[in-house]
């Protein structure tokens, strides 16, 4: 296997890109990819290629990649599948060294022979290939958006995905929750460049602080373990493995053209490699967001501070089910809490401040808990009654955490428009928040798991 660490630079930091199969019709892949690159502000040269020639979106169209004035560093291929081998042959003749094949219609529909031709032509011509059946690539640091999915702001998370649409969902989350992504590589059918090579590249990338993966099938399991073991102590790797059921494995085969392995094997491999495994898209997003923003959880002990008993009980169950602990405070800590709270508040953990809780109660309790060595992390729940604004509690959380930010704190304000104003305050002050106690517990588990990974593999 060739070393891709430098070869992938051409995919993610190209000086020029040819969009082959560019179209003048909105809604067609060749139009949307070209438009996304222009609107994103890519500073390199862009060469639209279509046999009809003419002009698209203000750019001259070349009838063949052989006609472009200088050799493109990257080709993004959006043509019908049947002509892709010929297009690659012309790219090789022109000296192109990297191609992202967005075109579908290969092994994912059983057309293995055509995909084999693509591989053979690429290898003869010295071209590295991402795809086919890829959604494209993104590098926000250079405004490269050679991709079908939503444009996304710059940030610390990079995504490797066998599904472009999963990337689209994550980018929609990112827009909603003010999170940025650094890089996105949609591997598609992985006929050449695969997830292991991209993982190795991102492990060396200073702009990537957390690596997210969506995988259905990994062909080089031993290499994945070897590479991930080197990376995971330095930066978290969070994976969503799809195709866990027999029906899901069948669906994965029709998506990527590859046969899935037993889920138990993946579970063992991910654990051995130091990869944090999640089970839903929202867990993938919020775990990566938390790992990019919060300190690790150094122990299992969680304090829950709430104004509502029901959600706190649910959160307690969810934490305990995930291997976290919600222990009672010591006698000394109980005395401190009792001294600052009315007698009708529960101080046994969850610490229930009741519906009339205000700024002062939340602030005082959080100050005590954040300074205590009895708890490793804090979950703050707030469900505003009709007579309370969420703003004052949000301010209490922000003020307390800004004074003592050493432990991870997650705010869970429930729900929707009744907590909208408070969430704006949390956002302005960089407080991590979710609107699900279940997701909050999952995130705390991920922070604990990554702490153990760093300890196990040494960092």
- Inside any domain, residue 254: yes
Close Cβ partners of 127 (under 8 Å, ≥ 6 residues apart): 88, 91, 92, 96, 97, 98, 99, 121
pLDDT at 251 over 80: no
What confidence score (pLDDT) does residue 215 get? Answer: 94
Q: pLDDT tier at 458 (50, 70, 90 boundaries)? A: low
- Inside any domain, residue 3: no
The answer to whether the pTM exceeds 0.85 is yes
pLDDT at 404 over 60: yes
Residues 330 and 366 in one domain: yes
Residues 44 and 71 in one domain: yes
- Inside any domain, residue 140: no
> In this structure, what CATH number is given to the domain that contains residue 86?
3.40.50.720
What confidence score (pLDDT) does residue 246 get? Answer: 54
Share of the chain above pLDDT 90, in %: 88
User: What's the structural domain count of the chain?
Assistant: 3
Residues 367 and 412 in one domain: yes
Residues 126 and 229 in one domain: no
> In this structure, what CATH number is given to the domain that contains residue 338?
3.40.50.261
What residues make up the domain containing 421? Answer: 302-457
pLDDT at 257 over 80: no
- Inside any domain, residue 135: no
pLDDT in tens, 336-384: 999 999 999 999 999 999 999 999 999 999 999 999 999 999 999 999 9
Contact call for residues 305 and 366 (beta carbons, < 8 A):
yes
What confidence score (pLDDT) does residue 190 get? Answer: 95
pLDDT in tens, 407-454: 999 999 999 999 999 999 999 999 999 999 999 999 999 999 999 998
Q: Which helix (H) or strand (E) holds 284?
A: helix 281-293
pLDDT in tens, 183-235: 999 999 999 999 999 999 999 999 999 999 999 988 899 999 999 999 999 99
Query: Average pLDDT of 97-120?
Result: 96
- Inside any domain, residue 4: no
pLDDT in tens, 350-362: 999 999 999 999 9
Q: pLDDT tier at 459 (50, 70, 90 boundaries)? A: very low
pLDDT at 68 over 80: yes
What confidence score (pLDDT) does residue 407 get? Answer: 96
- Inside any domain, residue 141: no
Residues 197 and 328 in one domain: no
pLDDT at 265 over 70: yes
Residues 94 and 71 in one domain: yes
Residues 174 and 43 in one domain: no
Rounded Cα gap, residues 347 and 86, in angstroms: 72
pLDDT in tens, 148-161: 988 889 999 999 99
Q: Which of 293, 314, 347 is the C-terminal boundary of a domain?
A: 293
Residue keyed to tokens 């993982």: 199
Residues 346 and 210 in one domain: no
Residues 88 and 155 in one domain: no
What confidence score (pLDDT) does residue 150 get? Answer: 84
Share of the chain above pLDDT 70, in %: 94
Look up residue 66 and give its two tokens: 């052989």
Residues 306 and 453 in one domain: yes
Contact call for residues 112 and 170 (beta carbons, < 8 A):
no
Sheet containing 181-186: order of strands: 144-147, 136-139, 181-186, 154-161, 210-215, 237-241, 276-278
- Inside any domain, residue 196: yes
Q: Which of 95, 130, 165 is the C-terminal boundary of a domain?
A: 130
Contact call for residues 302 and 444 (beta carbons, < 8 A):
yes
- Inside any domain, residue 360: yes
Residues 213 and 70 in one domain: no
Determine how many CB atoms are found less than 10 A away from the CB of residue 50: 21
Residues 344 and 428 in one domain: yes
Q: Which helix (H) or strand (E) holds 313?
A: helix 309-321
Q: Which of the pair, 410 or 254, is modelled with greater confidence?
A: 410
């Amino acid at each position: 296997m060739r070393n891709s660490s430098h070869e992938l630079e051409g995919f993610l930091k190209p000086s020029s890109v040819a969009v082959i199969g560019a179209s003048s019709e909105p809604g067609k892949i060749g139009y949307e990819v070209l438009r996304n690159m222009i609107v994103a502000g890519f500073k390199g040269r862009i060469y639209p290629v279509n046999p009809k020639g003419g002009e698209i979106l203000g750019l001259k169209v070349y009838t063949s990649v052989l006609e472009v004035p200088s050799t493109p560093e990257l080709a993004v291929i959006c043509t019908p599948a049947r002509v892709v081998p010929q297009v690659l042959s012309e790219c090789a003749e022109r000296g192109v060294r990297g191609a992202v094949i967005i075109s579908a219609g290969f092994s994912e529909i059983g057309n293995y022979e055509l995909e084999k031709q693509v591989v053979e032509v690429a290898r003869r011509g010295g071209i590295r290939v991402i795809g086919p059946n890829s959604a494209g690539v993104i590098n926000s640091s250079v405004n490269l958006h050679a991709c079908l999915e939503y444009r996304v702001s710059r940030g610390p998370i990079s995504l490797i995905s066998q599904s472009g649409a999963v990337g689209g969902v994550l980018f929609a989350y990112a827009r909603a929750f003010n999170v940025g992504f650094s890089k996105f590589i949609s591997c598609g059918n992985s006929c050449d460049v695969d997830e292991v090579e991209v993982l190795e590249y991102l492990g060396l990338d200073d702009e990537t602080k957390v690596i997210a993966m969506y995988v259905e099938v990994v062909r080089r399991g031993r290499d994945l373990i070897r590479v991930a073991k080197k990376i995971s102590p330095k930066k978290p790797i969070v994976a969503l493995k799809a195709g866990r059921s027999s029906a899901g494995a069948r669906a994965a085969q029709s998506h990527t053209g590859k046969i899935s392995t037993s889920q138990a094997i993946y579970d063992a491999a991910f654990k051995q490699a130091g990869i944090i495994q999640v089970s839903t898209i929202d867990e993938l997003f919020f775990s990566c967001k938390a790992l990019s923003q919060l300190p690790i959880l150094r122990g299992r002990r969680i304090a829950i501070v709430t104004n509502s008993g029901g959600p706190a009980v649910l959160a307690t169950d969810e934490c305990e089910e995930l291997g976290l602990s919600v222990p009672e405070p010591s006698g000394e800590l109980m005395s401190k809490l009792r001294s600052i709270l009315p007698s009708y508040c529960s101080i046994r953990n969850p610490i229930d401040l009741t519906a009339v809780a205000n700024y002062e109660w939340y602030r005082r309790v959080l100050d005590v808990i954040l300074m205590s060595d009895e708890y490793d992390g804090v979950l703050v729940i707030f469900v505003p009654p009709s007579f309370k604004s969420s703003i004052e509690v949000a301010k209490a959380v922000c003020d307390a955490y800004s004074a003592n930010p050493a432990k991870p704190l997650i705010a869970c304000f429930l729900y929707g428009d009744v907590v909208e104003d408070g969430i704006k305050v949390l956002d302005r002050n960089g407080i991590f928040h979710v609107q699900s106690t279940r997701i909050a517990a999952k995130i705390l588990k991920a922070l604990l798991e990554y702490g153990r990974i760093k300890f196990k593999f040494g960092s």
